[in-house]
């Protein structure tokens, strides 16, 4: 499921960035660019998590809580979850900024 999410999380902001680039609205471009960066960061962390999971001879949940592999996995999983929350917040901020910019009418 997360593999598909990463494609969506990277593709959607990149597409939106290309659309908004023509309008050259600085605030919108900055927020969307931040979304692209967090999506790329999240995908990189996910690759590390998958590598740890694939290299472990047993499921991560069966390792001792003190095991360094499980601790690293847990830390990366926490960072990944936090990055996902930030992505959702950026998506919300993008929506507000875009709506604000498009609802302003010239005097």
- Residue scoring higher pLDDT (85 or 75): 75
Q: What is the pLDDT of residue 72?
A: 94
- Tokens coding 30: 């900055």
Q: Whole-prediction pTM value?
A: 0.65
Q: CA 51 to CA 37: how far, in whole Å?
A: 21
Q: What's the pLDDT tens digit per position in 38-54? A: 778 888 888 898 899 99
- The DSSP letter of residue 63 is S
Name the band, by pLDDT with cuts 50, 70 and 90, for residue 3.
low
Q: CA 2 to CA 24: how far, in whole Å?
A: 32
Q: What is the mean pLDDT of residues 80-103?
A: 77
Quickly count: other Cβ atoms within 10 Å of residue 56's Cβ: 15
Statement: residue 74 has pLDDT above 90: yes
């Amino acid at each position: 499921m997360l593999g598909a999410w990463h494609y969506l999380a990277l593709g959607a902001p990149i597409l939106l960035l290309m659309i908004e680039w023509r309008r050259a609205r600085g605030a919108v471009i900055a927020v969307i660019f931040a979304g692209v960066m967090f999506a790329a960061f999240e995908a990189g962390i996910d690759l590390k998590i998958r590598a740890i999971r694939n290299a472990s001879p047993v499921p991560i949940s069966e390792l001792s809580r003190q095991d360094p592999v499980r601790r690293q996995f847990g830390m990366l999983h926490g960072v990944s979850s936090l990055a996902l929350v930030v992505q959702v917040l950026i998506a919300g901020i993008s929506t507000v900024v875009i709506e604000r910019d498009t609802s302003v009418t010239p005097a």
